[in-house]
Amino acid sequence: MSGWFTKSGPMQDVVISSRVRLARNFKSLPFPTSENIKSAEESISIVKKAVDSVKNLNFKVIDLGSLPQLDQEYLVEIHMMSTDMVGKKIPTALVIKEGNENLAVMVNEEDHLRIQSLMPGLQLEDAYKQCLEFEGIAEFQPKYAFSHEIGYLTSCPTNTGTGLRASAMVHLPALEKTDKMESLIDQCRKMGVAVRGFHGENTKSLGSCYQISNQVTMGFTEHEIISGIDNLIKNIIQLEREARETLRSKFGITFDDMIFRAYGILTNARMLTSEEALRLLSELKLGIDLGMFAEYDTTDIIALMSNVQPASLQKISGKILSPGERDILRANIIREKLKSKTE
């Protein structure tokens, strides 16, 4: 699995990735929050049966209990599953689609099914379509917990109705540096849209990356929710692009100095913490997006931002590394990747 984040996508100067997630539960079983081992096993077997019924679609069920801890952490890092899936007391599984790195279905997370599709750049509609392919498997249809009055039922009422969460990971260094983030977050909240840091809830923003997603899942159709977020993201892209131009014209050489210093440290440092690497890569990406380094494209930097996270580094080196060892490997990988493009 080389990772969905190594591919380029539309408007990646601002939108790192798009994600759509559908929550579904089986009406015959207790929902995962009150599930026991037996019922959890049963929901996995429903999934396996459904997947078997559409062999031509190449879905593959992975029992997470059999997956090494490091691989599980890696899947969390690349946003293919949530951190709640690691070390859960009931059996869990992940469904992927061979030959398509975008889809990942968590079985027995907060809901029986969390069907999610991750795509580079702004591609919410396409991501939604990928989710539907799995969601629409005929075997599942009569089994979903669904009410004609309120829609799909979920463990947490905040997901009830469509069960849909549409989100985009956006790179907003200029809005951050021009102190516009607070008011943007405020405006979004008033529209029922959440703005969060790099790893979803309860994390702060690293590398000026923010996740923007709908809060309301009921009272709108799926397409209304997706096009609402899509339009909002397009507005934010506009704001961020304007802020970048302002930043560069207002600060001139001070701005260039910041970007080139980031580049100088990235191409020379022998040790980089995750936090510093993300901050510097974010600044370099900003420069690349403004046309400053013709030899790189923004997808290179997005891939590096993901590859230098702790579990990814350990997957690359094939062994458990101490934080100090990771800092050295992280610096080496960034240096070699950036230098390989200038030689």
DSSP assignment of 95-107 equals EEETTEEEEEEEE
Within 10 angstroms of residue 33's Cβ, the number of other Cβ atoms is: 10
What's CA 115's distance to the chain center, in Å? Answer: 13
Q: How far is CA 119 from CA 7, 94, 97, 100, 335, in A?
A: 9, 18, 14, 10, 27
- CB-neighbour burial class of residue 100 (10 A; exposed 0-12, middle 13-18, buried 19+): middle
Residues 6+ apart with CB under 8 A from 165: 19, 20, 21, 23, 159, 213, 214, 217
> Based on CB atoms, which residue is closest to a copy of itself, 10 or 324?
324
Least Cβ distance, residue 162 to a copy of itself (angstroms): 49
Least Cβ distance, residue 214 to a copy of itself (angstroms): 41
Q: What is the DSSP letter of 158?
A: G
> Based on CB atoms, which residue is closest to a copy of itself, 65 or 264?
264
> Based on CB atoms, which residue is closest to a copy of itself, 268 or 340?
268
> Based on CB atoms, which residue is closest to a copy of itself, 198 or 293?
293
> Based on CB atoms, which residue is closest to a copy of itself, 220 or 260?
260
> Based on CB atoms, which residue is closest to a copy of itself, 232 or 266?
266
CB 41 within 8 A of CB 92: no
> Based on CB atoms, which residue is closest to a copy of itself, 160 or 274?
274
Buried b (16+ CB within 10 A) or exposed e, 174-201: bbbbbeebeebeeebeeeebbbbebbee
Question: What CA–CA distance (Å, rounded) separates 149 from 299?
Answer: 44
DSSP assignment of 32-99 equals GGG--HHHHHHHHHHHHHHHHTTGGG-EEEEEGGGS-HHHHHHHHHTTSS-GGGTT-SS--EEEEETT
> Based on CB atoms, which residue is closest to a copy of itself, 138 or 253?
253
147: helix, strand or coil: strand
CB 174 within 8 A of CB 259: no
Least Cβ distance, residue 267 to a copy of itself (angstroms): 6
Least Cβ distance, residue 321 to a copy of itself (angstroms): 14
Structure tokens at 129: 């379509």
> Based on CB atoms, which residue is closest to a copy of itself, 133 or 256?
256
* Chain residues in the site for a copy of itself (CB under 8 A): 253-254, 256-257, 260-261, 263-271, 328, 331
CB 1 within 8 A of CB 101: yes
